[in-house]
Amino acid sequence: MSFVLILGVCLLLVWLSLAVRQSRREIDHYQHFEQVDFPEVDGELPDDPGFPLHQQVTQRHTAQRYLPPRQPAPLYPSKQRSAERVEAVKQRLGDLRTDLVWVIEHPSLFDGNTAESGLFFEKLGTWDDEHRYLSDREAHDLAGSVEDAFTQARRAAERVGLDFYDEPGREEAEVAVKLVTKARSTTGEEARLLMDKVAEILARLLPFDVPEAISAATGSTQPPSQAP
């Protein structure tokens, strides 16, 4: 009788030991899946309480394997986008260069000998020479430098204004502005003669040529062509 009792106790202990070991394995298995940082998936898989936790997590992980990988967003805009920014600066510069009155009243923007304009034209030249060899990040930084330099050069030109000239030069510049305004109010031969006088004055005053501005102003004073 004692032998049977001892045998029963031993079997009970073995069964309890196996049950505890199996329980620990399941707990470790659940903890493993809870610690895995699975990526988010589009759409929700329903949580079915009839399935163990590790099967639900495995289903989500399997679904993620068949989704296309997410492409990381670029850190910097493409070089083409930077090129468009520089072209916009060139366009604004060109618009100002063909506005003859603005050129006369703010000449320092176009004079590379002034500090701000000199820096702007240096940055612009660097872009033209090197942009094709730059990375996206380098192009982005250089395009920003071009924009900033242009802004500073234009502000400096607006601040200096007619003080760019000496006293006699300021008087001639004011005469030139009046001639341009008068030429715009007329057409034909009179307008052409007025613009010729403006060109003579500017040739004496400005350290740079303004053929684009003269051409634009002269073209605006020509009478419209008559249709045959």
- pLDDT tens digits along 23-44: 666 555 445 444 544 444 444 4
Average pLDDT estimate for 181-190: 88
pTM: 0.63
Nearest CA to 143 among 128, 162, 160, 159? Answer: 128
- pLDDT tens digits along 62-102: 555 555 666 666 667 788 999 999 999 999 999 999 999 99
Nearest CA to 77 among 146, 143, 150? Answer: 143
pLDDT number for residue 64:
56
- The three-point CA angle 88-94-97 to 5° equals 150
Q: What is the mean pLDDT of the chain?
A: 79
Please list the alpha-helical segments (H only) found in the chain: 2-35, 53-65, 79-97, 100-105, 115-130, 136-160, 167-184, 188-205, 211-220
Average pLDDT estimate for 108-127: 96
